[in-house]
């Protein structure tokens, strides 16, 4: 099979490699679609986790068809349409036992920590597959597990109630899906970005207002728009400045959820404000099997529409260009998906 492998910093190659062999408790999935995103970019540009053995197959956001199953696997059969969950948790620790497996200390992410799914086939844990409803195309199913499930989990962390107001900082791939989902929840959404094309798109996808963070103080503008601050803010940019604006944009009693992963320290808030206004700040990391299952239910019921989400498709050789597009924001990708893995 062909596989897109990282050989070193900024060194991606399409290699011919053997099809991996699943163990008795594993399944082999023929990959039909695999999304690429900021996590891949981070690894390719030099952020591979310590201990990673190069060359390594990239790809952490995939869907396809079960090709073969190990002798001990009873839940799946060849031909089943599945999405492959992003992380492989230990399934034994306290977090795993309460459905918070995204916090498992032993979480391994194929495509980041070990061989992933930008290849003809990938080995998967049968407990970490989600059935893809018949009407959902593979390129949409693939992005559900990260680009859609990550903002979905964050909105649950935000505790968004029907009719709430929410400011979304960063209207890229994750932010646009947060917008779709927040509208589904009946929220009033303010989209914040520094790119006028992204802001236009946010309005076209249903945002109630758009704030250009280059035009002065975004938090002050949000206070004006929402008459005293939003109920919830969610941050996808991963910069301390953006988190600071998000925290200052909420009303008393408001909660800010930080999803963006950056290298900076979080700026400290005046304690007077934090305490007297009963502010809350929470992190949100990845998603759970439960989240992904709920999203496929929404897709099956046609309540969630991802038909505009995959703005670019490519083959394995086009991944480098796709990552560059993500970096430069040229062509304003929402999500790029590799749909030709042969
Ligand atoms: Zn665990």
Residue 51 has pLDDT above 90, yes or no: no
Please check whether residues 160 and 259 belong to one and the same domain.
yes
User: How remote is the CA of residue 93 from the centroid of ligand 1, in Å?
Assistant: 4
User: How remote is the CA of residue 145 from the centroid of ligand 1, in Å?
Assistant: 19
Please check whether residues 93 and 40 belong to one and the same domain.
yes
Please check whether residues 235 and 173 belong to one and the same domain.
yes
Residue 6 pairs in a beta bridge with 12, 56
What would the mean pLDDT of 263-284 be, rounded to a whole number?
91
pLDDT value of position 46? 86
pLDDT value of position 267? 74
User: How remote is the CA of residue 270 from the centroid of ligand 1, in Å?
Assistant: 36
User: How remote is the CA of residue 99 from the centroid of ligand 1, in Å?
Assistant: 10
Decide if 142 is inside a domain. Answer: no
Tell me how far CA of residue 40 lies from CA of 36, 54, 210, 267, in angstroms: 6, 15, 28, 27
Please check whether residues 154 and 277 belong to one and the same domain.
yes
d(CA 232, CA 247): 9
Decide if 140 is inside a domain. Answer: no
pLDDT value of position 299? 97
User: How remote is the CA of residue 89 from the centroid of ligand 1, in Å?
Assistant: 5
Decide if 138 is inside a domain. Answer: no
What would the mean pLDDT of 53-70 be, rounded to a whole number?
96
User: How remote is the CA of residue 91 from the centroid of ligand 1, in Å?
Assistant: 5
Tracing tokens 């989600």 back to the chain, one arrives at 130
Decide if 288 is inside a domain. Answer: no
User: How remote is the CA of residue 106 from the centroid of ligand 1, in Å?
Assistant: 6
User: How remote is the CA of residue 107 from the centroid of ligand 1, in Å?
Assistant: 7
User: How remote is the CA of residue 48 from the centroid of ligand 1, in Å?
Assistant: 22
Number of H helices, E strands in the chain: 11, 16
- pTM of this prediction? 0.96
Domain final residue, candidates 266, 283, 300: 283
Residue 268 has pLDDT above 80, yes or no: no
pLDDT value of position 50? 82
User: How remote is the CA of residue 103 from the centroid of ligand 1, in Å?
Assistant: 7
Please check whether residues 77 and 162 belong to one and the same domain.
no
Decide if 143 is inside a domain. Answer: no
Question: Residues 244, 258: contact at Cβ < 8 Å?
Answer: no
Please check whether residues 325 and 260 belong to one and the same domain.
no
Please check whether residues 172 and 239 belong to one and the same domain.
yes
Decide if 300 is inside a domain. Answer: no
Domain final residue, candidates 240, 268, 283: 283
Q: What is the CA radius of gyration of the chain?
A: 20
Q: What is the CATH number of the domain that holds 176?
A: 3.40.50.720
Is the dihedral angle over the CA atoms 229, 232, 237, 240 positive or is it negative? positive
| CA nearest neighbour of 140 among 61, 38, 86 | 61
User: How remote is the CA of residue 101 from the centroid of ligand 1, in Å?
Assistant: 6
User: How remote is the CA of residue 156 from the centroid of ligand 1, in Å?
Assistant: 21
User: How remote is the CA of residue 238 from the centroid of ligand 1, in Å?
Assistant: 26
User: How remote is the CA of residue 254 from the centroid of ligand 1, in Å?
Assistant: 31
pLDDT value of position 31? 98
Please check whether residues 161 and 249 belong to one and the same domain.
yes
Task: Return mean pLDDT, the chain.
Answer: 95
Residue 325 has pLDDT above 90, yes or no: yes
- Parent domain of 200: 149-283
Residue 305 has pLDDT above 90, yes or no: yes
Decide if 51 is inside a domain. Answer: yes
Please check whether residues 127 and 6 belong to one and the same domain.
yes
Residues at Cβ < 5 Å from ligand 1 ion: 89-90, 93, 96, 104
User: How remote is the CA of residue 111 from the centroid of ligand 1, in Å?
Assistant: 19
Kindly report, residue by residue over 112-153, the tens digit of the pLDDT. 888 999 999 999 999 999 999 999 999 999 999 999 999 999
What would the mean pLDDT of 157-166 be, rounded to a whole number?
94
Kindly report, residue by residue over 172-217, the tens digit of the pLDDT. 999 999 999 999 999 999 999 999 999 999 999 999 999 999 998 9
pLDDT value of position 39? 87
- The number of domains in the chain is 2
Kindly report, residue by residue over 236-249, the tens digit of the pLDDT. 999 999 999 999 99
Please check whether residues 118 and 153 belong to one and the same domain.
no
pLDDT value of position 262? 86
Please check whether residues 265 and 316 belong to one and the same domain.
no
Q: What is the CATH number of the domain that holds 113?
A: 3.90.180.10
pLDDT value of position 101? 95
User: How remote is the CA of residue 169 from the centroid of ligand 1, in Å?
Assistant: 31
Question: Residues 153, 316: contact at Cβ < 8 Å?
Answer: no
What does the block give as tokens for 49?
């986790």
Give every CB contact of residue 216 below 8 A, 6+ residues apart in sequence.
none
Decide if 155 is inside a domain. Answer: yes
User: How remote is the CA of residue 105 from the centroid of ligand 1, in Å?
Assistant: 6
Residue 30 has pLDDT above 90, yes or no: yes
User: How remote is the CA of residue 338 from the centroid of ligand 1, in Å?
Assistant: 30
User: How remote is the CA of residue 290 from the centroid of ligand 1, in Å?
Assistant: 15
User: How remote is the CA of residue 328 from the centroid of ligand 1, in Å?
Assistant: 36
Pairing of strands 209-212, 121-124: unpaired
pLDDT value of position 342? 85
User: How remote is the CA of residue 268 from the centroid of ligand 1, in Å?
Assistant: 32
**Phi, psi at residue 67, to the nearest 5°?**
-95, -55
Residue 68 pairs in a beta bridge with 28
Please check whether residues 42 and 166 belong to one and the same domain.
no
pLDDT value of position 1? 97
Q: Which region holds residue 282: left if phi is over 0, alpha if psi is between -120 and 50, else beta?
A: beta
């Amino acid at each position: 099979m062909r596989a897109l492998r990282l050989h070193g910093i900024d060194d991606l190659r399409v290699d011919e490699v053997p099809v991996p062999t699943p163990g008795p408790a594993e399944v082999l999935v023929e990959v039909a679609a695999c999304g690429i995103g900021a996590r891949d970019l981070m690894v390719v540009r030099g952020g591979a986790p310590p201990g990673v053995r190069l060359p390594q197959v990239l790809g952490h956001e995939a869907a396809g068809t079960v090709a073969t199953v190990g002798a001990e696997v009873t839940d799946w059969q060849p031909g089943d349409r599945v999405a492959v969950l992003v992380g492989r948790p230990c399934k034994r620790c306290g977090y795993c036992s309460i459905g918070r497996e995204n916090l498992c200390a032993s979480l391994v992410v194929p495509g980041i920590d070990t061989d992933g799914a930008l290849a003809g086939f990938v080995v998967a844990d049968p407990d970490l597959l989600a059935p893809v409803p018949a009407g959902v195309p593979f390129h949409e199913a693939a992005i559900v597990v990260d680009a859609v499930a990550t903002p979905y989990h964050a909105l649950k962390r935000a505790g968004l109630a029907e009719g709430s107001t929410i400011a979304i900082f960063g209207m890229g791939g994750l932010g646009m899906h947060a917008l779709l989902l927040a509208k589904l929840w009946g929220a009033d959404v303010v989209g914040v970005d520094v790119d006028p094309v992204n802001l236009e798109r946010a309005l076209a996808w249903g945002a109630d207002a758009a704030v250009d963070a280059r035009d002065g103080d975004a938090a002050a503008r949000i206070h004006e728009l929402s008459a005293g601050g939003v109920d919830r803010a969610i941050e996808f940019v991963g910069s301390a400045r953006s988190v600071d604006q998000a925290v200052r944009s909420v009303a008393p009693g408001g909660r800010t959820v930080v999803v963006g992963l950056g290298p900076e320290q979080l700026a400290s808030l005046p304690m007077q404000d934090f305490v007297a206004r009963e502010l809350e700040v929470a992190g949100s990391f990845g998603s759970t099997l439960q989240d992904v299952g709920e999203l496929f239910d929404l897709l099956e019921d046609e309540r969630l529409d991802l038909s505009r989400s995959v703005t670019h498709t490519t083959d394995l050789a086009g991944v480098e260009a796709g990552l560059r597009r993500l970096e430069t924001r040229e062509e304003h990708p929402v999500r790029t998906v590799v749909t030709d893995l042969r």
